[in-house]
Structures are given as structure tokens and as C-alpha cells.
Chain A
């Protein structure tokens, strides 16, 4: 489903270009809590529908984050300094690793039902928390 094309092709482009159909984390960040708000003040026809709990990502540095950074320092030590002159090779090798880690982190940060949904695939399990959108009808 993921469509990712590297611009320029080959070893050229530094910019990765993606259209729709990117990672779930991208979709959540792109669409959640965006767009025109139409609530009961705008239209009395608004009805509350049930939405699965999707918590917007909040990035808070924690002790876990700090320890992970320290681990990165440990890993740096095993890369001989002279290899810094070969950025392409080092980048290629470490790139794949940190992409996977980055994705894991992002999904973790989203939390809530999306995380469950991710681990549970697309199938609609019955254990998801459900939030009833409350709509104030007065006014």
C-alpha cells in the first residue's frame, strides 16, 4: 500500500516524496483534528457518532528517551572514526535501522486504539475502546 518514490532515482535525491497512502502515523498526523469544525453551534443537524479512541501524538522526552540516546552513544563508539569519511555506506547501514526504530516510536507515541489497531491488523476487534462523541445540544 505504501507508495514511496525517491526523487531523482539512484543515489541522487535526498528528498523522499510520498503522496497519499503513506504510513498510518502519517495519515493520523495529516488528518486528525484538522479541517473545518462543524459542531452543534454551527448546525443543529450534527449527530454524535462513535469514534475509536485515537490519541493525537504528544512528544514528551522521558527517561526512556534519555537512556536510548545514551545507547546511541554506545553504538557510535563501535564505529571507527575514519569511517566518517564514507557517509554513504554508514548512512545506508544505519538508515534502515533507524527507520524501523523511528516508525516503532511514532506508533508508540500515537498510542490508544491506533496502536491496538496496528498490532491487530485491519480486522475490527471487539476490544477497542470506544469514545462517544458528546455533542452539546443546548443553544
Chain B
């Protein structure tokens, strides 16, 4: 072989999983996804050239689509994006060495998928609420309204800072509210760090597929209750990306 290659590892599954015909992986053109089996386990892998960097949007999407698609039909333990091994022997060694731990993790994930609920404050509504609640902010708002930015810069910064503090405080309470609303319907739940300054509650949930309908109904109810202030999105079903950490391997 002319070029050096490695095996990109997507995730670990039970050995009875069959890869679908059209599964396509990372790389350009998309690499074929194959299964390497060892005992009760198998790893979803693709051969990739070592000289081409990965991490393009298409690579991230391919990785997610493969894992989410797999999670819909079988338990899967996602392996961190960017993990590669030097060949099939490396993969079978890995699976053999950690057989019990991986198998136990997969047993726990059987019949479970991840959902993420992402809330974002409606900016106008949120700011209006802050002005209604906070006299100091309302006062500053009066000073800056209709005035050019150059002459009210200081007041604007102070006003913006008050609003920003209000977002942070509300976000904390909102995340708690979200976890209390949906947590009881999930096997496990965890808050996620905000990704935008207007983010409200943001959390991930590991859900029994048998209870998915119930969970989604609760998510809809939460969204309905908060719709005046928050735009809520439910992402999923996803592979259990956030719940593989519990099985972090330590040297």
C-alpha cells in the first residue's frame, strides 16, 4: 500500500449488530464502515488515510449520523471523535482487554437513547421582562433610548451588563426547572453548558425508548409552559454521547 492508513473508530456495539449496506463514514470520499468483531463486542470502524486531516463539517455529520442511526436499532457506546487505531489487531486487542467493561456499558444502554432539550430566550421578550422587573435597568433604558451609541456608550454597557446578569441568573433557574420537569422521565440527566448568550435551560437525557413518547409529551408540555419567553428545541433520538463518560476508561 502506498499510503499509510489507520482505523477510525466510531463506536462499540454488541457483536450481533450488522452494518447496513449504505453506511458511509468520515473522509472524502466517505469511507466504508465495517465491523470488527471480538467476543461479545464489535467496533464500527473505517479505514482512513493518515495524511488527510479530519474534522470537516461533513466528517462530524457522518460520525453523528452513523452513531444516531445505530443507536436507533442497537445499543452503541460512542467513541470520542478523532480516535484511530493502527489496525484490526489493535481493535480486537482493545475489545478483548476491556470486554467486561464495554459489555456492561452496552447492557446499561440497551433500549435507551439520548435526547437534548435546548431552550433559548426570545430576546425581545426577555429584555422587556428584565426592564419590567429591574428599576435600575429601566432607568438606563430611558437614558439610551433614541440616543446615538457614541454618547450613551457607558450607559449601554451598564444596561447590557444588567441584562446579561439577568440571563445568567434565569438560566440557572431554568436549567433546574428543565431537569425537574423531564428528569423523572429519564434514566439519567445532565445539564449542558450554554452555547449562546441567550441560552436558557439546556440539558441532556438518557431515555428508555419505551418511555420516549411520555418523555416527548413532557418536553412538549415544558415548551408550552415556557413558550412566551423561551424557544425550545428537542434534539433526538441521539446516540448516548453524554452518557458514555460514566464508563471512562482509566489507565
Contact = CB atoms under 8 A, between A and B. Distances in A.
Interface stretch (B16-24, B83-91, B173-181): B83-91
Interface secondary structure of B, over-half rule: mixed
A21 B163 CA distance: 33
A33 to B, nearest CB: 7
Report which residue of A13, A30, A48 has the largest number of chain B beta carbons within 10 angstroms of its beta carbon: A30
B146 A77 contact: yes
Contacts of A29: 192, 195
B40 interface: no
Interface residues of A, number: 81
Contact of B65 (A20, A49, A63): A20
A36 B248 contact: yes
Interface in A62-107: 63, 65-70, 72-77, 79, 84, 87, 90-91, 94-95, 98-99, 101-102, 105-106
B157 A18 contact: no
Contacts of A33: 80
Nearest to A43: B94
B82 interface: yes
A64 B86 CA distance: 46
Interface residues of B, number: 103
A72 to B, nearest CB: 5
Nearest to B226: A14
B79 interface: yes
Given A26-B235, A59-B194, A75 B124 contact: yes
Given A37-B80, A45-B87, A18 B53 contact: no
Interface in A89-134: 90-91, 94-95, 98-99, 101-102, 105-106, 109, 113-114, 117-118, 122, 124, 128, 130, 133
Interface string B47-71: 0101111111110110111011100
A109 B193 CA distance: 13
9 contacts: A20-B65, A26-B235, A36-B80, A43-B93, A45-B93, A51-B55, A72-B163, A105-B196, A105-B197
5 closest Cβ pairs, A-B complex: A45-B90, A66-B160, A41-B251, A52-B55, A50-B53
Interface of B: 6, 8-9, 11-12, 28, 48, 50-58, 60-61, 63-65, 67-69, 77-87, 89-91, 93-94, 97-98, 116, 118, 120, 122-125, 127-128, 131, 141, 144-146, 149, 152-153, 155-161, 163-164, 168, 192-199, 216, 219-220, 222-224, 226-228, 231-238, 241-242, 244-245, 247-251
